Structure 1
Amino acid sequence: MDFPFINEDVTGLKHKYGYTQVIDSLASSISGICKYGSVAKLHFNEEMSAFSKEGSNEQPVKAEYHKFPENTFCTGSTFVPKQGGVEEDDGLIITFVHNEERNVSQVYIIDAKKFESDPIAILTLPQRVPYGHHGVFVSMPNQA
């Protein structure tokens, strides 16, 4: 896992959720560069005690995964809070993805509450977005 991010509205507070890009070990070892084949939603308040080692103080957290199609990898994932959202995960995950077989870059928009579901939108881009680019969302002030 790499490039963690959160809902920036809860910066400095205890988080229920965190998000991260997940390395595809096989694709990364073959290519020699890190490739991220999915993003994960970490549930910090929900332990996966079935996976903890006996005698260990470590309690792995519950994780959900949004996996991309084969040979498709992401970069620059960010959380966009829902305007008027109440829950910490009221919002969207927006990430650049690139399908290496078709040489197509896209933007995936994922509902953070329905994390493992299909994206709510996929936008095809007119040109390649190289790996390593990072994303951030800045909302526009209300125009009067």
Structure 2
Amino acid sequence: MATEQPPDGRDEADLGAIAEKHGQKIPWVWDTKRPNRVGFFPRAGGAVTWITVPPSYISHTLNSYDDGGDIVVDYVEFPAPFSADQLSTSAPPALVRWTIDRARRRVRRTRLDDRPQEFPRVPDARVSRKHRYGYTAAAADFLKAYGHGSTPDSAFGNGLVKHDLATGRSQFHRFPKHASASEAVFVPRSGARAEDDGYVLSYVHNPDRNASDLVILAAQDFTGKPIAQIHLPSRIPLGLHGSWIAGT
């Protein structure tokens, strides 16, 4: 995958100066005069093939993989036009799939889940391979905080979503009413064979303690009670990415 150069050949420093001049906090500029394009090229190297796609703002990518002659990309999308500084868009972020037909040079867009959500993750072992399951964090007023550094807990919802992309079904794990759940990280069980045989970890802000809990769910009993909750002594800022590293 590749991205286009900034409009009119301007580099990031130029865009930063423009943004600062206009009082913007971050140098992301939406140019309605230029089309959106996606580019792909062989892993072994070669020329980039560009395809015009419907305008949208791609936030985080769930995964991408080859499927015969197609490239499948699952990601979180904000509808266009998207102003990162003014947080202007017509709808909250949703989970979307692109199926890129390399031969015909066209893209089919499928909306996988309309609910506001962010921070999509697949098990690390499935990255760049075909996946069945994906996990996202429910989003609340995320548009009010996007791109402004410190993200308040109110931008997040009190739940996590497990997507079964083979059946189109999903499960929702709901935490207490005023809790705020961040990115879900999958940890495989020792000796696991199934893709979802393992655990889902997430930092969840506990407003009663004004601190965070590390919550551990059984991925195959996603809506059930947590296996464990580790009460941390302070608040872990939400909106951060994480990875699991097994002990030796």
The TM-score range, normalised by the shorter chain, is 0.7 to 0.9
Q: 1:10 aligns with which of 107, 126, 137?
A: 126
Equivalent in the alignment of 1:96: 203
SS of corresponding position for 1:15: coil
Match of 2:125, SS state, is helix
| Equivalent residue number for residue 37 of structure 1 | 158
2:174 corresponding residue in structure 1: 67
CA contact (8 A) 1:95 1:108 kept: yes
Instruction: Compare 124-133 and 112-121 and name the one that shifted more.
Output: 124-133
The one-letter amino acid paired with 1:34 is A
Change in Cα spacing, 1:5 to 1:82, as seen in structure 2 (3 Å) is: same
CA distance in 1, matches of 2:208, 2:160: 20
Shift of 1:91: 0.8
Per the normalisation by structure 2, the TM-score is 0.47
Q: Which runs of 5+ in 1 are unaligned?
A: 47-60
**Residue 32 of structure 1: how far off its partner (Å):** 9.1
Tell me how far apart the structure 2 counterparts of residues 32 and 41 of structure 1 sit (CA, whole Å): 21
Contact 1:9 1:81 in 2 (8 A): no
2:200 & 2:175 partners in 1: Cα distance?
13
Q: Secondary structure of the residue that 1:86 maps to in structure 2?
A: coil
Q: 1:45 to 1:125 in 2, by over 3 A?
A: same
Query: Which residue does 2:241 correspond to in 1?
Result: 134
Percentage of identical aligned residues? 31
Instruction: Spell out, residue by residue over 1:42-73, the C-alpha distance to the aligned partner (whole angstroms, 9 max, x if none).
Output: 01111xxxxxxxxxxxxxx2110011101100
For the aligned residue pairs, the C-alpha RMSD in angstroms reads 2.1
CA contact (8 A) 2:121 2:135 kept: yes
The more displaced of 112-121 and 15-24 is: 15-24
TM-score w.r.t. the length of structure 1 is 0.78
- Checking the alignment, whether the CA contact within 8 Å between 2:122 and 2:133 is kept in structure 1 is yes
Q: Contact 1:38–1:67 at 8 Å: present in 2 too?
A: yes
Letter in 1 for 2:216: I
Residue of structure 2 equivalent to 1:114:
221
Bigger Rg, structure 1 or 2: 2
Evaluate the alpha carbon distance shift between residue 69 and residue 32 of structure 1 in structure 2; reply closer, same or farther with a 3 A threshold: closer
Number of residue pairs matched by the alignment:
125
What amino acid sits opposite 1:105 in the alignment?
S
With a CA cutoff of 8 Å and minimum separation of 6, indicate the structure with the bigger relative contact order: 1
Please tell me the residue identity of whatever aligns with 2:163: L
Whether the aligned pair in 2 keeps the contact of 1:17 and 1:42 (CA below 8 Å) is yes
- The code of the aligned residue for 1:95 comes to S
- Partner deviation per Cα, 1:54-102 (whole Å, 9 max, x = no partner): xxxxxxx211001110110012321111121000001110001112243
In structure 2, runs of 5+ residues without a counterpart are 1-116, 145-151
